Structure formats: C-alpha cells, structure tokens
C-alpha cells in the first residue's frame, strides 16, 4: 500500500485545503486519482488515517526488530512505511546472542555438575581419612 501523504509531500495532519492543493499539483495520474478517491472524502480519509497509523506503527516495529532491509521488503511498493533501522544490531540478533550465552552457560554447568558428582564423595573420603589420621596420631 502506498503512503499517499508521503507521495503527495504533505504531513498526515494536513488540512483539506493543503491536501487538495497537493493533489492538484500532482503529475502522477494514478496517484492523483487514488488521492482524490481516498483523501477527498472525509469518511474514507478517516478510515485511511486509522490504517495509516497502524501501518506506520508496524513500520516502526519492523525497524526496531531489524526487519526493514530484508530481501522480501525491498521495492518501491513495500517501502513506503519502512524506516531505517534505529539500532546497529537488530533485536533478533541481540536475543540470539543472549540465548547462545545461556546455552553455553548451561553446557558448562552440566559438564561441571558431572565432575562435581565424583568430587564430593572423594572430598568426604579424604576428609574422613584425614580426621582418622589426626585422631590416630593424637592417640599415640
């Protein structure tokens, strides 16, 4: 869907006279007819404004998730509501890095847990042996 306000070069909160002047100045015939049909009728403009806000919100969300420049979002038609990414890494990349770090920590913990399973009884036996030896030596 095309952003008629963006294509006409007017803000979304422009009054009807500004929009009518922009429509008259438009040289693109199909855009001019679409703008007259949608923005020229108050009921249609209200409906379009609600849809415009929703699509703008989706565009901001895609931008924050880093989905703006994916191959399937390229092209003139799909980019009207696209914004450049506002962060260096996408949220998906940040989340993937955190999950990878947690998986590595879990793997390390699991590995050490199996080693500690044998270490604890060994420490008990060594401690008992040392206590017995100290008791035996103190009795001499």
Tell me what the mean pLDDT of segment 24-36 comes to.
91
Whether this prediction's pTM lies above 0.85 is answered by: no
Give pLDDT tens digits for 71-120.
555 555 556 666 666 666 667 788 899 999 999 999 998 888 877 788 88
**pLDDT value at 135 more than 80:** yes
* pLDDT, the chain, mean: 84
Q: Is the pLDDT of residue 20 over 80?
A: yes
Burial class (CB in 10 A: 0-12, 13-18, 19+), 65: middle
Q: What is the CA radius of gyration of the chain?
A: 34
Burial of 36 (0-12, 13-18, 19+ CB in 10 A): middle
Asked if the model's pLDDT at residue 32 lies above 80, the reply is yes
Q: What number of helices (H) and strands (E) belong to the chain?
A: 5, 0
Closest CA relative to residue 1, chosen from 36, 51, 46, 39:
51
pLDDT, position 70? 56
Judged against a pLDDT cut of 90, whether residue 44 lies above it is answered with yes
Q: In the chain, pLDDT over 70 holds for what percent of residues?
A: 81
pLDDT at 26 over 80: yes
CA distance 136 to 140: 7
Residue pair 55/81 in contact (Cβ under 8 Å)? The answer is yes
């Amino acid at each position: 869907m095309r952003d008629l306000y963006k294509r006409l070069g007017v803000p979304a909160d422009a009054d009807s006279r500004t929009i009518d002047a922009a429509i008259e100045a438009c040289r693109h015939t199909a855009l001019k007819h679409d703008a007259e049909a949608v923005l020229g009728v108050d009921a249609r403009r209200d409906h379009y404004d609600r849809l415009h806000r929703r699509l703008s919100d989706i565009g901001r969300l895609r931008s924050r998730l880093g989905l703006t420049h994916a191959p399937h979002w390229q092209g003139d038609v799909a980019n009207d509501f696209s914004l450049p990414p506002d962060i260096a890494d996408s949220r998906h990349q940040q989340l993937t890095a955190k999950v990878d770090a947690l998986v590595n920590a879990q793997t390390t913990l699991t590995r050490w847990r199996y080693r500690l399973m044998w270490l604890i009884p060994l420490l008990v036996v060594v401690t008992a042996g040392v206590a017995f030896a100290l008791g035996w030596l103190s009795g001499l």
